[in-house]
């Protein structure tokens, strides 16, 4: 799908989660596990788990300590604990995030996952791919490609009734 050239209206994030679940469903294996990257990816992974009717818990991962810019940026003020309540060894994993940008968060998540074992495979699922990659990382499952300027940010957040919604921020 071609990128959205100028962002005028934000898509329905809940509808995107449903579309993402349908992209994933044909490739699900019986022992596939979901791992969401804090914070937007965790919300999406929870929604996907419900939509796909997956048994068991999802994994939650915070990559703060695995970022290659940790020394430069320091610790994010809202660090969440990583919780992977299952064995990842030889299991197919789907790593879930809300927005794919440079690829550095995904790289950090993969590094952290290998501290828990060696998965059979890792596929990436995202709601939005905004381009601007700095590493050779791509999403296997994606519902929306768009272009944003370097001073723009796309943020997924819970809205009314805990329904997911997008917010676009522009930084000076």
DSSP 63-111: -GGG-TTHHHH---TT----B--S--TT-EEEEEEEEESSSHHHHHHHH
- Please say whether the structural domain 13-150 has been given the CATH code 3.40.1380.10: no
* pLDDT score for 163: 92
* pLDDT score for 4: 53
* pLDDT score for 70: 47
* pLDDT score for 69: 58
* pLDDT score for 78: 66
Q: Give the Cα separation of 18 and 47 in Å (integer).
A: 8
**Separation in Å, CA 65 to CA 35, 88, 132, 167:** 17, 20, 23, 26
- pTM for the whole thing? 0.90
* pLDDT means over runs of 10, the chain (172 residues): 61 97 96 94 97 95 76 57 94 97 95 96 97 95 92 91 91 80
Sorted by where each begins, the domain ranges of the chain are 13-150
Q: Give the Cα separation of 54 and 28 in Å (integer).
A: 10
DSSP 10-79: ---HHHHHHHHHHHHGGG--TT-EEEEETTHHHHHHHHHHHHHT--SPPEEE--GGG-TTHHHH---TT-
């Amino acid at each position: 799908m071609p990128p959205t050239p100028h962002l005028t209206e934000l898509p329905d994030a809940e509808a995107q989660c449903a579309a993402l679940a349908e992209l994933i469903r044909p490739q699900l294996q019986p022992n596939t596990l979901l791992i969401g990257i804090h914070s937007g990816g965790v919300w999406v992974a929870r929604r996907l788990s419900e939509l796909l009717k997956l048994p068991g818990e999802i994994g939650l991962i915070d990559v703060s300590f695995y970022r290659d810019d940790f020394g430069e940026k320091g610790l994010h003020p809202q660090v969440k604990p990583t919780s992977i309540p299952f064995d990842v060894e030889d299991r197919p994993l789907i790593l879930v995030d809300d927005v794919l940008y440079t690829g550095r968060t995904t790289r950090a998540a993969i590094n952290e996952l290998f501290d828990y074992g060696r998965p059979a495979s890792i596929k990436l699922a995202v709601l939005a791919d905004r381009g601007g990659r700095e590493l050779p990382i791509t999403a296997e499952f994606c519902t929306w490609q768009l272009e944003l300027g370097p001073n723009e940010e796309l943020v997924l957040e819970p809205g009314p009734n805990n329904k997911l919604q997008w917010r676009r921020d522009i930084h000076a």
